[in-house]
Structure 1
Amino acid sequence: MKNNKQFNPCVLHKIFKEILERAGLPAHRFSLHHLRHTIATLLLQEIKDKVDVRTLQQLFGHESLASTSKYTHIDFEQNKSYLVVII
């Protein structure tokens, strides 16, 4: 980010879709929202010794810890196939 300006969400969405298309992935099946959830879930599950819920709350800008804690209730094995498709 240049000059501490925030990215325009529409621009980020467009960049994300272009990257998916270049990678040969069906852009209509993915969203930045899915990516955000996948990142949060994997951070908590894969490096939980370094990332706790409070850290994730700050990273994602959640006002309420309840918003962030939903990532702690996901069963990794149950959603493994979903995560693999997104990644």
Structure 2
Amino acid sequence: MGQPINPRGLHRIFKEVLHHAGLPPHRFTLHHLRHTFATLLLRSKEGPFKVDIRTLQELLVHESLATSSIYPHIDLEQNKQAIETLQFDY
């Protein structure tokens, strides 16, 4: 078995994956990925990826349910519009 990955190593891998996907690594962060993950889990209408707010709290390792409760208030359409307006410098 290998060694556990540290945050710096995860950050490096994330940036490499973005680069290989043709996305500008400076435009995305692991924090963005974490928020997207949480939002998509709560927005799933059905299937194995649908979770409740308490499960999300556990997945994100939030001490307070109030911290996790911001995610249901995120408007998916607003997020889509924001993504569509991003300007990428290639």
2:63: which partner in 1?
Answer: 63
In terms of fraction of residues, the more helix-rich structure is 1
RMSD: 2.2
1:35: which partner in 2?
Answer: 33
Shift of 1:2: 5.1
Q: Which runs of 5+ in 1 are unaligned?
A: none
Shift of 1:47: 4.0
Q: Partners of 1:9 and 1:29 in 2: how far apart?
A: 19
Shift of 1:82: 3.4
Tell me the SS of whatever aligns to 1:62.
Answer: coil
Could you tell me the TM-score, scaled by structure 1's length?
Answer: 0.82
2:22: which partner in 1?
Answer: 24
Shift of 1:24: 1.0
Could you tell me the TM-score, scaled by structure 2's length?
Answer: 0.80
The one-letter amino acid paired with 1:72 is P
Q: Which runs of 5+ in 2 are unaligned?
A: none
Runs of 4 or more off by more than 2 Å in structure 1? 47-50, 81-85
The total of aligned residue pairs comes to 83
1:13: which partner in 2?
Answer: 11
